[in-house]
């Protein structure tokens, strides 16, 4: 912290720095010098970064484009969502989950935890500020970060460090499919799906068999809708728990002792014993093991929370690919 005050103190009396600041602020509506890092994104990563910095006495500013913390969880997820991984693997540094929380906290519990976390470390993100540009100025040795507010008001932040914590799931990816324009039904991305309630009795095509697609199918089934799942690619489906513990936890533990390929082999054998041959239900496995594939391509295995049983029973129909969308009445 002392060195930050020292830098600030020097800058306050440096005519060249002040002149440059004046020039830069005259070109945009407002300019703010931040005596620590600017963090982009108030999701779990941004909050954790701010808390760890604060613990070391380093102040920071979080810029968040939406109007709340953890916007992915609060605004873009379905109602039945629980953490896919056990809580001990999802907690942020310096503060654990409350002891009463279940192994897989609900989305509301996770959001409550994140809000309590922000309160504990007195983290107050600047909401409704979308970072549109970040440029390193080598002459000054500072980042110039531009954000745009709701009414288009631009703000420039000048800081020495920039932390980008904008997440890997924050942007919805909507594939283009032939016939989408003419389709009379509702087409929506999972980030806008809340519950199967509004689809009761309807036929719904779910495109994509990752964790979200599989769980949405289950939710639709539980609300008496008639879902079909489009499976374009191979996929690893693993039980969420095996041998009385979480598959993820067990994998992490085994990786401490055994090579990745051996752990993959183990996971596949136990999955086969518990789930059977998934390719019989249209879910063929990739050639690479689940952990190796995750390492090489980032593709996450599906942790089954009950969808596979519904596919086996025929409550969820399987389609192998989706080339075009055609108008239908159901
Ligand atoms: C359905 C689902 C289930 C999941 N389950 C789990 C789980 O069980 N366990 C787990 O660990 N992870 C899970 N994840 C992964 C999830 O990505 C993480 O839980 C977590 O949200 C990642 O945190 P993050 O802060 O890195 O990113 P995010 O939570 O995505 O936060 C990024 C933030 O950056 C903001 N932002 C983006 N661009 C800008 C910009 N230009 N300017 C300002 N702000 C910006 C966004 O609005 C957002 O608030 C799940 C994800 C999904 C979609």
Q: Are residues 59 and 134 in the same domain?
A: yes
Is position 185 within any domain? no
Cα 113 from Cα 115, distance rounded (Å): 5
Same domain, 207 and 256: yes
**Of all atoms in ligand 1, which is nearest to the CA of residue 191?**
53
Among 104, 129, 164, which residue terminates a domain?
Answer: 164
| CA nearest to 204, candidates 177, 183, 179, 185 | 185
| Per-residue confidence (pLDDT) for residue 8, from 0 to 100 | 56
Domain with residue 53: its CATH number is 3.50.50.60
Give the pLDDT band of residue 197 (cuts 50, 70, 90).
very high
Ligand 1 centre distance from Cα of residue 164 (Å): 12
Contacts of 113 (CB under 8 A, 6+ apart): 91, 97, 98, 101, 105
Q: Which of 38, 63, 72 has most ligand 1 atoms within 8 Å of CB, for mutation? A: 72
Q: How far is the CA of 206 from the centre of ligand 1 (A)?
A: 22
- Is the domain of 237 the same as that of 308? yes
* pTM of the predicted model as reported, rounded to 2 decimal places: 0.88
Protein residue with least CA distance to atom 53, ligand 1: 169
Angle at 235 between CA 83 and CA 232, to 5 degrees: 115
> pLDDT tens digits, residue range 257-305?
999 999 999 999 999 999 999 999 999 999 999 999 999 999 999 999 9
In-domain check, residue 159: yes
Asked if pLDDT for residue 202 goes beyond 80, the answer is yes
d(CA 9, CA 162): 21
Question: Which residues form the domain of 139?
Answer: 2-164
Find the residues whose C-beta lies inside 6 A of ligand 1. Answer: 40-46, 63-66, 70-72, 77, 81, 83-85, 90, 130-131, 165-170, 212
Residue 40 to residues 113, 130, 131, 147, 329: CA-CA distances in angstroms? Answer: 20, 9, 7, 10, 44
| Residue 330, pLDDT score | 43
Residue 250: what pLDDT? Answer: 98
Q: Which residues pair with 146 in a beta bridge?
A: 133, 156
Domain boundary among 147, 164, 181: 164
Residues 196 and 134 in one domain: no
Model pLDDT, residue 14: 65
pLDDT digits (tens, 9 = 90+) for 89-120: 999 999 999 999 999 999 999 999 999 999 99
Task: Examine the pLDDT at 238 and tell me if it is beyond 60.
Answer: yes
Q: What is the pLDDT of residues 170-187, one digit of tens each?
A: 889 888 888 888 898 999
pLDDT of 319 reads 73
In terms of domains, do 156 and 13 share one?
A: yes
Same domain for 199 and 289, yes or no, is yes
Cβ pair 1, 35 in contact under 8 A: no
Give the position, in ligand 1's atom list, of the atom nearest the Cα of 76.
53
How far does the centroid of ligand 1 lie from the alpha carbon of residue 310, in Å? Answer: 29
The mean pLDDT of 200-219, rounded to a whole number, is 96
Q: Do residues 30 and 156 lie in contact, with contact meaning Cβ atoms separated by under 8 Å?
A: yes
Please tell me the distance between residue 307's alpha carbon and the centre of ligand 1 in angstroms.
24
Q: Would residue 20 count as lying in a domain?
A: yes
Asked if residue 27 lies in contact with residue 137, where contact means CB atoms within 8 angstroms, the answer is: no
Percentage, residues of the chain above pLDDT 70 = 88
Q: Clarify whether residues 11 and 130 are in a common domain.
A: yes
Q: At what angle do helices 247-255 and 260-275 cross, to 10 degrees?
A: 150
For the CA of 170, the nearest atom of ligand 1: 30
CA 248 – CA 300 distance, rounded (Å): 11
Residue 88 lies in a domain: yes
More confident residue, 4 or 223: 223
Between the CA of residue 243 and those of 249, 250, 270, 272, what are the distances in Å?
11, 9, 9, 13
Compute the distance between CA of residue 75 and CA of residue 177 in angstroms, rounded to an integer.
26
**pLDDT tens digits for 122-161?**
999 999 999 999 999 998 899 999 999 988 999 999 999 9
Pair 112, 260 in one domain: no
What is each CA distance from 170 to 77, 104, 143, in whole angstroms?
11, 22, 23
Q: What separation in Å is there between the alpha carbon of 314 and the centre of ligand 1?
A: 33
Residues 142 and 21 in one domain: yes
Give the angle 145-146-150 at the CA atoms, nearest 5°: 140
Residue 34 CA to ligand 1 centre (angstroms) = 25
Ligand 1 atom closest to the CA of 69, numbered from 1:
49
The pLDDT of residue 25 is above 70: no
Cβ atoms of residues 257 and 291 within 8 Å: no
Residues 214 and 70 occupy one common structural domain = no
DSSP 97-145: --TTS-SS-BHHHHHHHHHHHHHHTT---B-S-EEEEEEEETTTTEEEE
Q: Which candidate, 236, 218, 178, places its Cα nearest to that of 316?
A: 218
For residue 307, tell me if it sits in a domain.
yes
Residues 206 and 114 in one domain: no
Would 82 be classed as within a structural domain? yes
Whether residue 304 is contained in a domain is answered as yes
The number of folded domains in the chain is: 2
Is 178 inside any structural domain?
no
Going by alpha carbons, the residue nearest to atom 29 of ligand 1 is 43
Cα of 10 vs centre of ligand 1, distance in Å, is: 38
Both 130 and 196 in a single domain?
no
pLDDT tens digits for 59-84? 999 999 999 999 999 999 999 999 99
Q: Give the model's confidence band at 307: pLDDT under 50 very low, under 70 low, under 90 confident, else very high.
A: very high
Residue 176's pLDDT is 86
Q: Is the pLDDT of residue 210 over 80?
A: yes
């Amino acid at each position: 912290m002392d060195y930050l005050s020292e830098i600030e103190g020097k800058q306050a009396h440096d005519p060249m720095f002040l002149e440059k600041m004046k020039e830069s602020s005259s070109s945009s509506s407002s300019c703010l010098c931040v005596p620590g890092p600017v963090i982009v994104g108030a999701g779990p990563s941004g909050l954790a970064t701010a808390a760890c910095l604060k613990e070391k006495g380093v102040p920071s500013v979080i810029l968040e484009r939406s109007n709340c913390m953890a916007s992915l969880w609060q605004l873009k997820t379905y109602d039945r969502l629980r953490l896919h991984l056990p809580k001990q693997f999802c907690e942020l540094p310096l503060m654990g989950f409350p002891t009463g929380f279940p192994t897989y906290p609900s989305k509301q519990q996770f959001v409550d935890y994140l809000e309590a976390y922000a309160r504990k470390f007195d983290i107050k993100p600047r909401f409704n500020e979308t970072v549109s540009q970040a440029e390193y100025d080598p002459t000054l040795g500072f980042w110039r970060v531009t954000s745009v507010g709701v009414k288009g008001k631009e703000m420039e932040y000048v800081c020495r460090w920039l932390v980008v914590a904008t997440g890997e799931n924050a942007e919805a990816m909507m594939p283009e499919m032939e016939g989408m324009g003419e389709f009379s039904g509702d087409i929506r991305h999972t980030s806008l799906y809340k519950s199967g309630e509004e689809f009761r009795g309807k036929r719904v095509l779910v495109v994509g068999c990752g964790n979200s697609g599989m769980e949405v199918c289950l939710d639709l089934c539980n609300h008496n809708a008639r879902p079909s799942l489009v499976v374009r690619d191979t996929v690893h489906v693993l039980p969420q728990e095996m041998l009385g513990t979480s598959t993820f936890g067990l994998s992490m533990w085994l990786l401490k002792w055994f090579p990745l390929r051996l752990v993959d082999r183990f996971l596949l054998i136990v999955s086969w014993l518990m789930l059977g041959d998934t390719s019989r239900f249209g879910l063929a496995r990739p050639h690479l093991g689940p952990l190796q594939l995750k390492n090489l391509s980032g593709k996450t295995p599906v942790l089954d929370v009950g969808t596979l049983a519904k596919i086996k029973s025929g409550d969820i129909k399987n389609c192998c690919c989706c080339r075009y969308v055609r108008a239908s009445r159901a």
